[in-house]
Amino acid sequence: MSYRTLRNRAAGRPWTAAVPLLTGAVLLSACQGPGGWTSDAPRPTREAVRVVPDDGARGVRAGHRIEVRVPDGRLERVEVTRAGDTGSAPVPGRLTRDGLGWRSAGPPLALASRYTVEAVALDGHGRRTARHTSFTTYVPRHRLVGFFRPEHRSTVGTGMIVSFDFNRPVRDRAAVERAVSVTARPAVRVAPHWFGARRMDFRPRERWRPGTEVTMALRLRDVRAAPGVYGIQHKTVRFRIGRDQTSVVDAAAHTMTVRRAGTPPVTLPVTAGDQDNPTYNGRMVILERHPMTRMDGGTVGFGGEYDIPDVPHALRLTTSGTFLHGNYWASRGTFGGANTSHGCVGLRDEQGGSPDTPAGWFYGNSLIGDIVEVIRSRDVTVAPDNGLGGWNMPWDEWLRGSALR
């Protein structure tokens, strides 16, 4: 079934689901952008939304406040979330009287926490600019903290991989692995795999069954992770697996086919990475959802080739900067007809983002944890530790990554 046929038949925008933010959002907020600027494409812009502390900052001390500023216009939306040992919670704040600034209110920054900031601003000409940043605060000396995903009480797609990023290198991986368990109901074997000394992921052999209830038990308090380094977390995290949806991007055919159990497949026209910057092959998992975000080529090695302040309906697929997002600057004929990006997958959209476009429809029907697979691209298969790419690793090899094998 095509997107147009589905939209004509459907009423009330089907498959819509509310999706929570992840604990431990990744730090980069840029994507591979459009391949070449045209007269109607967005032009590179200066930094319009400034956030303090800086994006990617580590070890930020307690006592600081979070500030967001714009030089002109006004701040339209600011959302700040804290994820720490006691769970995840929104951070309150207040706009300044002139609308140019926002400052966190209430208690100062908490230790051993990760903060994410989502801001959208309108400039003096009514144009939107989005900014997504994150930073972590100071962890007391000799203490180990694991920043994890997904978030407590969230509903995620069947491709979700449980992932821990530790603030310090783990020397005794076996001890830490014994202190963390991931179990499922209905029961299924869930196995860990270490990617270096700071990251441990968990997944089943095949993607989760819809409706599965998953429990993460963190019993890290006083566990010796390295000489003189001890864990501080003791908590239980639960999340649920939602409906089963998978999408396959055929880079050679310029299409994406969306499949969900019990419904006809939907085919959407896309534009993928160009000949010089092809899109990764392989299975990737949606990590983040942003109604609007900024994509700056300078953060992913493309210098000043592009800087798009208002990319709509952005779904992050890799840590390195691959997104599946709305594209309003390319002509209609591009989608389904040519690959023109620096590595992302683009769907037709309108500036500001419209729910009645292919990009808006797919965004509204996607969950964090859904699998997007790319085939027939000229690039290599995405690395298992680039985002949640562990589904590209054979099960036997995955099992060998356990410290307790």
| Residues across the chain | 405
Catalytic residue among 290, 313, 342, 344: 344
Q: What is the torsion angle, in degrees rounded to the nearest 10, for the CA atoms of residue 232, residue 238, residue 242 and residue 248?
A: 20
Q: Does the structure show a pLDDT above 70 at 34? A: no
Measured between alpha carbons, how far is 287 from 386 in angstroms, rounded to an integer? 11
Specify which residues 163 forms β-bridges with: 149, 201
Least confident window among 87-91, 189-193, 218-222, 249-253 = 87-91
The predicted model gives 253-276 an average pLDDT of: 96
What are the boundaries of each domain within the chain?
A: 3-9+244-391, 50-136, 143-243
The predicted-structure confidence for 155-171, as pLDDT tens digits, reads as follows: 999 999 999 999 999 99
Measured between alpha carbons, how far is 197 from 177 in angstroms, rounded to an integer? 12
Given the candidates 2.60.40.3780, 3.90.245.10, 3.40.309.10, 2.170.130.10, the CATH classification of the domain at 50-136 is: 2.60.40.3780
Measured between alpha carbons, how far is 331 from 291 in angstroms, rounded to an integer? 21
Closest C-alpha among 172, 166, 102 to residue 139:
166
The predicted-structure confidence for 271-319, as pLDDT tens digits, reads as follows: 999 999 999 999 999 999 999 999 876 555 555 566 899 999 999 999 9
The predicted model gives 80-105 an average pLDDT of: 89
Q: Is 31 a catalytic residue?
A: no
38 CB-contact burial (10 Å; exposed 0-12 / middle 13-18 / buried 19+) = exposed
**CATH of the domain spanning 143-243:** 2.60.40.3710
Measured between alpha carbons, how far is 280 from 200 in angstroms, rounded to an integer? 23
Q: Does the structure show a pLDDT above 50 at 23? A: no
Q: Is 344 a catalytic residue?
A: yes
Residue 178 banded pLDDT, cuts 50, 70, 90: very high
Q: What is the torsion angle, in degrees rounded to the nearest 10, for the CA atoms of residue 116, residue 355, residue 344 and residue 259?
A: 110
Q: What is the mean pLDDT of the chain?
A: 88
Residue 269, pLDDT score: 98
CA atoms within 13 A on the CB side of 49: 30
CATH fold of 3-9+244-391: L,D-transpeptidase catalytic domain-like (2.40.440)
Catalytic residue among 193, 290, 313, 325: 325
Q: Provide the token pair at 37.
A: 């600027």
The predicted model gives 226-254 an average pLDDT of: 96
- Look up the pTM and report it: 0.82
Q: How far is C-alpha 201 from the chain's CA centre?
A: 16
The predicted-structure confidence for 220-236, as pLDDT tens digits, reads as follows: 999 999 999 999 999 99
Residue 63 banded pLDDT, cuts 50, 70, 90: confident
Specify which residues 345 forms β-bridges with: 324
Question: Is 50-136's fold the same as 143-243's?
Answer: yes
